Chain A
């Protein structure tokens, strides 16, 4: 949207220019893009960028080497090495792949499951609605992490199991919001017209309901992806997530715990900063999406 300014004085015009710049900056979420692009790049091309194999020790390197700018560090391992003398930087780069993949896939699973069930619940109503909503309530009652831990102990650690688990834990929020949206959509004229014209339920859902709730799903997804990434890191940290020797950030933090008391800070700080940056960026991105796609500014 272009803001036309009808300022008379130079002051007003200057203010208008400033606002113009500001709105241009708001068009694109620069900070999140600035953060996310390198991480996405690292995740996609980890093999090309990473100096070493993340699961194997650097030949001839010592354990617990500090970052190269500290005493005892070497430019061979820019961010130091861990307890198996593996390269931290390479592990972080491959870890981005795990985090983003699990974060995105978990969100996709949760989002599609939640949206589908939300639409069914809202559109079909009746006992289907009752069942789905009662299950949603019950599943929301369990703390996400406790529920995820429970499922993880049953399914065992693997990356795809984690995706399934996070999908199962987080679909409920989508279902609830989408159902509410569908209930109001059903009252719209064009949906009623389509129904009167004899369109099948499936057709009405695909043509009229789904396209209209997708915005909400996208906003919710962009806001939850950070939560999912933290959940994955938590599960990996507790040893029920991504199994070693896979380089997941949460796992790296877990492995760093035993050496924390010895002051080997780089093992703890670097993976944490990576999580922080990615989650922060997704949060900012989510806020931007919400402003763009949800003009009513609901509290999703």
Chain B
């Protein structure tokens, strides 16, 4: 176990290192970082100051060392627009994004998992066919367009729900649906396939041979095992939703990280964009690490296969 954690942690560090290298290289390959790191129309002395601060006049390896050191000490630059450190802005928005992502995850769980389960238990039955249609449309309907249509129907025509902003639970409904829609469909697919695989296993056969009631076989022996990959996906997806719900947050004026990124693009606030990307990457890598270790505890098979 200890060996697994060690190996997995090293792996994550390498991933983070390559991630930082990628961002560093891409920025320098596509233009002058000093221009990006200063406000549009900056004076020459400002440019010089930024160059000195980030060591942009030195050779690339030293520049990279600078860059890495700044990240490691938590200095991701200052947003032009907010005049605040990017990391502060990020963590200020994090709770909002987390709230939306949790709500979307919950919603997609409530739809995707039972539907996937029903599909798997009655393969090729009516539920399975409905499930297939839902899965297919879920993957084909862009979440942001769904958001727009929801606003049109429930805010403009029916005037039931507010169009956006942060407020009470009613503000959460539409963004959660728009954000969770795609994920509900993928949960459905995964639950179904995972459940089908589990139900073919020898231990399910043994559970039936024991003469257990059908619901015990399905709900306890089957579902509990089928849930392992489903929960893994949910964990990974939650952290992606927190960081990448750009369009849904923009459409519903939700003050989260995605919207922060959008503001960064819109106002040509490069330090903000770069900072959010770096932080999002770090967070995802770390949460993945955490989930892997957690599941290695729950399910010993993971430890053995990786």
Contact = CB atoms under 8 A, between A and B. Distances in A.
B294 interface: no
A291 to B, nearest CB: 14
B186 to A, nearest CB: 12
Interface of B: 11, 14-16, 18-19, 22-23, 26-27, 30-31, 36, 136-137, 139-142, 144-145, 148-149, 151-152, 155-157, 163, 193, 240, 243-244, 246-247, 250-251, 261-262, 264-266, 268, 270, 273-274, 276-277, 280-281, 284-285, 288
A239 B265 contact: yes
A134 B10 CA distance: 12
B156 A153 contact: no
Interface of A: 134-135, 137-139, 141-147, 149-155, 226, 230, 233-234, 237-240, 253, 256-257, 260-261, 263, 265, 268-269, 272, 275-276, 279-280, 283-284, 299
Max chain B C-beta neighbours (<10 A), residue from A145, A147, A150, A240:
A150
**7 tightest A-B CB contacts, nearest first:** A143-B244, A138-B18, A272-B145, A280-B140, A279-B140, A154-B30, A138-B19
Nearest to B16: A138
A230 B142 contact: yes
A149 B148 contact: no
A238 B285 contact: no
B144 A141 contact: no
Contacts of A147: 277
A283 B140 contact: yes
A265 B157 CA distance: 10
Nearest to B288: A141
B244 A276 contact: no
Contacts of A144: 244
A153 B273 contact: yes
Given A238-B247, A240-B265, A279 B273 contact: no
B250 A299 contact: no
A260 B163 CA distance: 10
Given A257-B148, A261-B163, A275-B145, A141 B262 contact: no
Contacts of B26: 150-151, 154
Contacts of B22: 135, 138-139
B136 A272 contact: no
Contacts of B251: 257
A141 B261 contact: no
A261 B18 contact: no
Given A151-B26, A153-B273, A257-B251, A272 B148 contact: yes
B19 A141 contact: yes
Contact of A143 (B23, B240, B250): B240
B281 A141 contact: yes
Given A143-B240, A154-B26, A269-B152, 4 more contacts: A142-B19, A238-B247, A253-B145, A260-B148
A150 B19 contact: no
A81 B89 CA distance: 40
A286 B288 CA distance: 29
Contacts of A275: 142, 145
21 contacts: A134-B15, A134-B18, A135-B22, A137-B11, A137-B15, A138-B15, A143-B243, A143-B280, A145-B247, A146-B246, A150-B23, A153-B273, A155-B30, A234-B246, A238-B250, A238-B262, A240-B265, A257-B148, A260-B148, A268-B149, A279-B139
Nearest to B146: A272
Nearest to B31: A154
A226 B243 CA distance: 22
A227 B238 CA distance: 19
